[in-house]
Homo-oligomer: A and B are copies of this chain.
């Protein structure tokens, strides 16, 4: 029986979503996996906007339950952090004890992105924590995103791959994905 891998990421929002999901699925198949991704789903029929959202949520959760592993694309999305749908899915798979892998196409880590978000205006507060001008503390754990994500992956033996895509290819460059896939194949197949 081949191993199933769930391909989570913000590709679903791209103008060429179907093409990108198909390319990732093809690479996963070439590596020996059976890919599962939101691109595989026929959009279920629903009467309301919310009903459609529920239906997609149910389909995606079912695919995760079926999958043996996840590769989560944690490239920052519409801001400085990963897509929240993808981070939910990564947490979901960690809790299920599945094999977890992640990558990002942005080389600047979480700390550097938060400092850039504050235009460098970060200083040490009375309590010794680095804080932005809004008082929020600036995490510095040498990690690509919140520690629950990066820590959750590496603590269970998964791997986080850090890529460095051109700004206009943030969601289409598959270099880091391919590396991540190779590590997953090496580990699981």
Complex: how many Å from CA A58 to CA B146?
Answer: 13
Q: How many residues of A contact B (CB 8 A)?
A: 59
The residues of A with any CB-CB pair to B shorter than 8 Å are 10, 12-15, 17, 48-50, 52-54, 56-58, 60-61, 64, 78-85, 87-96, 114, 117, 125, 127, 131, 135-137, 139-143, 145-152, 154-155
Those 3 A-B pairs whose CB atoms lie nearest each other, nearest first:
A57-B151, A91-B91, A79-B79
Q: Which residue of B lies closest to A125 (CB)?
A: B15
A54-B147, A87-B87 are known; give 8 further A-B pairs, CB within 8 A. Answer: A10-B136, A50-B154, A53-B143, A58-B155, A84-B146, A88-B152, A89-B148, A92-B94
Shortest C-beta distance, A91 to chain B (Å), equals 3
User: Which of A49, A82, A93 has the most chain B CB atoms closer than 10 A to its own CB?
Assistant: A49
Would you call A53 and B142 a contact (CB within 8 A)? Answer: yes
Q: Which residue of B lies closest to A154 (CB)?
A: B54
Task: With A57-B151, A91-B89, A146-B88 as known contacts, state yes or no: A80 contacts B83, CB within 8 Å.
Answer: no
Would you call B136 and A13 a contact (CB within 8 A)? Answer: yes
- 29 pairs, CB–CB < 8 Å, chain A vs chain B: A10-B136, A12-B137, A13-B139, A15-B131, A48-B142, A49-B141, A50-B141, A53-B142, A54-B147, A54-B155, A57-B147, A57-B155, A60-B148, A61-B148, A61-B152, A64-B95, A78-B79, A78-B81, A81-B81, A83-B146, A84-B145, A85-B148, A85-B149, A88-B91, A88-B94, A88-B146, A88-B148, A90-B91, A92-B92
Complex: how many Å from CA A12 to CA B61?
Answer: 29
Complex: how many Å from CA A61 to CA B149?
Answer: 11
- Set B50, B61, B91, B95: member contacting A143, Cβ < 8 A: B50
